[in-house]
Amino acid sequence: MKKVLILIASVSLLATSCVSKKKYTDLQAELGDKLATTEKALADSKVDLGAAENKVASLEDRIKFLEKGNEKYLENVDNLIAMSKSATENMRSTLSQLQQKDEYIKYIQEANSKKDSINLAVAFNLKKILPNGLNDEDISVNIEGTKVFISIADKLLFNSGSYRISKRAESILKKVGAVVNEYPNMDVMVEGHTDNQTVKEGAAVKDNWDLSVQRSAAVVRELQSKYDVLPARLIAAGRAEYAPVVENSSAENRSKNRRTKIIIMPKLDEFFELLDTPAAN
């Protein structure tokens, strides 16, 4: 019996010893896995820590840069604040002078604005109705300052060497008269221009002065008698050969210089009256 008990005890101890060794092996493997995981996490954390430290260093450098820039900015502000009183007074004096002139400038701007608007309207209407197949070299419309200029080649208005209005001119002057009559507060000056060719002996005119004035007078009479432009608005003038657009060095150039200019311009008394009238606030 005693031997049986000893045998049973020995078997039990052997079984217990085998179970404990297996558990130990399993536990050791489990701990090995956890250790590997922990070591990997530690390595990752070191990498993250390094990146964070680099970012912190970069931010610290940025802060130093901004602080340095801020110091420079504050220094500039101090310099601006420290402007001399004399310079400030000079600026105030200049501003005061400009303010004193402001009202007068407004008068001029208002006058010019009104006159420019009228000139643009006149020029637009003329350009709209005049061309109709004519060459730009033969007739042109331009704005110069406070005036609208219509330049017409002499071949469209007169026969060669003559100051009598041709049939071809009637349609042109009719259109000019219609536009001019839309703006009764503007004067109309007609200027005759010639080339530098000497007038032939025995001609109907004495010289280029005579020819240029006779031609401008003929246009003025036509505008008054046929197209109802008030004579008080009309001015006839002659420039002879002394205001050429190009040198009289060729037949082509001389042709360009033989022209009649119709100048639509503000009545000077009304224009200056507009300048003297206080601008509306």
How far apart are alpha carbons 6 and 36 in whole angstroms? 45
Q: Could you tell me which residues come within 8 angstroms of residue 141 by beta carbon, excluding any fewer than 6 positions away?
A: 123, 126, 127, 130, 148, 149, 150
Among the candidates 38, 71, 86, a domain finishes at 86
Flag whether pLDDT at 271 surpasses 90.
no
Q: Which residue has the higher pLDDT, 241 or 119?
A: 241
- Give the pLDDT score at 81: 66
- Give the pLDDT score at 133: 46
Q: Residues 118, 230: one domain?
A: yes
Owning domain of residue 7: 1-86
Token pair in block for residue 27:
């536990």
- 265 pLDDT band, cuts 50/70/90, is confident
How far apart are alpha carbons 265 and 206 in whole angstroms? 30
Q: Residues 51, 190: one domain?
A: no
- Give the pLDDT score at 226: 95
Whether 208 is in a domain gets the answer yes
How far apart are alpha carbons 96 and 184 in whole angstroms? 41
Whether 227 is in a domain gets the answer yes
CA 14 to the chain's CA centroid: 106
Among the candidates 86, 120, 146, a domain finishes at 86
At residue 84, the 3 state secondary structure works out as coil
* 1-16 pLDDT, tens digit each: 555 555 555 555 555 5
How far apart are alpha carbons 278 and 104 in whole angstroms? 8
Whether 281 is in a domain gets the answer no
- Give the pLDDT score at 227: 95
- Give the pLDDT score at 112: 58
Q: Residues 248, 124: one domain?
A: yes
Whether 103 is in a domain gets the answer no
Q: Residues 35, 157: one domain?
A: no
Domain at 235, CATH number: 3.30.1330.60
Among the candidates 47, 69, 86, a domain finishes at 86
Mean pLDDT along residues 139-157:
87
> In this structure, which amino acid lies at residue 197?
Q
Closest by CA position to 140, among listed 27, 54, 261 = 261
Q: Residues 190, 144: one domain?
A: yes
CA dihedral of 83, 87, 88, 92, whole degrees rounded to 10: -160
- Give the pLDDT score at 124: 72
Q: Residues 4, 82: one domain?
A: yes
Mean pLDDT along residues 116-143:
67
Select the highest-mean-pLDDT range: 20-24, 85-89, 108-112, 166-170: 166-170
How far apart are alpha carbons 254 and 156 in whole angstroms? 15
| Mean per-residue pLDDT over the chain, rounded | 78
Number of domains in the chain: 2
Least trusted range by pLDDT, from 46-50, 140-144, 159-163, 266-270: 266-270
Mean pLDDT along residues 238-247:
96
Note whether 243 and 256 are within 8 A (CB): no
Q: Residues 238, 138: one domain?
A: yes
Flag whether pLDDT at 94 surpasses 80.
no
Whether 92 is in a domain gets the answer no
Query: For the whole model, what pTM was predicted?
Result: 0.55
Q: Residues 231, 116: one domain?
A: yes
Token pair in block for residue 81:
């604040």
How far apart are alpha carbons 1 and 21 in whole angstroms? 31
Whether 214 is in a domain gets the answer yes
Flag whether pLDDT at 277 surpasses 60.
no
The DSSP code sequence of 127-187 is HHHS-TT--TTTEEEEEETTEEEEEEEGGGTB-TT--SBPHHHHHHHHHHHHHHHT-TTEE
- Give the pLDDT score at 243: 96
Whether 96 is in a domain gets the answer no
Q: Residues 141, 248: one domain?
A: yes
- Give the pLDDT score at 206: 92
- 280 pLDDT band, cuts 50/70/90, is very low
Q: Residues 219, 120: one domain?
A: yes
Percent of the chain with pLDDT over 70: 66
Flag whether pLDDT at 123 surpasses 80.
no
Flag whether pLDDT at 275 surpasses 60.
no
Containing 188, the helix (H) or strand (E) segment is strand 186-193
- Give the pLDDT score at 11: 52
Token pair in block for residue 240:
């002879």
Q: Which residue has the higher pLDDT, 280 or 235?
A: 235
Q: Residues 216, 167: one domain?
A: yes
Chain position carrying tokens 């052997």: 14
Q: Residues 12, 57: one domain?
A: yes
Whether 122 is in a domain gets the answer yes
